[in-house]
């Protein structure tokens, strides 16, 4: 179902419509997730960090403000438009990309990969997670 192109198009349309209010609808999951994720990421200064399913840039912009070099991908033009309009957005490399497809990025080029609130969009987590971490996170980042 989730790999059906019609389903994906409907999801993208939904996020395009949600984008204008996404940051203002008091989603309690964001408040629960953010502090834990930030502790887990540690000091990101100087790191190359990839934000997959970046949405309106919640994590990407915070990471850039901490001194990370951030690349952030999402397939919703509406969500990306909101992200790109925010202060600090010029420091982030936002790319419009459908993450069901191969990533348009060089192998082993990131220290950390972040993705927030996206499990509902994955058909099968272990193969996705393994593929991204093997191909895009530097080997020395696993210490």
Ligand X SMILES: C[S@@+](CC[C@H](N)C(=O)[O-])C[C@H]1O[C@@H](n2cnc3c(N)ncnc32)[C@H](O)[C@@H]1O
Site for ligand X (CB under 6 A): how many residues? Answer: 18
Helix axes 77-84, 5-22, angle to 10 degrees: 30
Stretch that binds ligand X, among 82-90, 97-105, 123-131, 132-140 (CB under 6 A): 97-105
Residue with the CB atom nearest ligand X in the bound state: 55
**What's the min distance (Å) between Cβ of 45 and ligand X?**
22
Q: From CA 90, how far away is CA 59, in angstroms rounded? A: 15
Stretch that binds ligand X, among 40-48, 82-90, 110-118, 126-134 (CB under 6 A): 110-118
Q: From CA 110, how far away is CA 50, in angstroms rounded? A: 6
Its sign, for the CA torsion 38, 39, 41, 43, is positive
Under the criterion CB under 6 A, does residue 95 sit at the interface with ligand X?
no
Q: From CA 42, how far away is CA 68, in angstroms rounded? A: 11
Residues found near ligand X in the complex (CB under 6 A): 8, 11, 15, 53-55, 58, 74-76, 79, 98-100, 116-118, 121
């Amino acid at each position: 179902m989730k790999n059906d192109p019609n389903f994906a198009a409907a999801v993208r349309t939904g996020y395009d419509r949600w984008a204008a209010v996404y940051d203002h609808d008091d989603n309690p999951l964001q408040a629960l997730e953010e502090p834990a994720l930030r502790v887990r990421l540690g000091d990101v200064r100087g790191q190359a960090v990839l934000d997959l399913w970046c949405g309106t840039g919640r994590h990407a912009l915070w990471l850039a403000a901490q001194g990370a070099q951030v690349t952030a991908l999402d397939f919703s033009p509406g969500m990306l438009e909101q992200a790109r309009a925010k202060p600090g957005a010029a420091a982030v490399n936002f790319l419009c990309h459908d993450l069901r497809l191969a990533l348009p990025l060089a192998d082993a080029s990131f220290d950390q990969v972040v993705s927030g609130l996206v499990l509902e969009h994955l058909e099968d987590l272990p193969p996705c997670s393994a593929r991204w971490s093997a191909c895009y996170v530097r080997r020395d980042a696993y210490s």
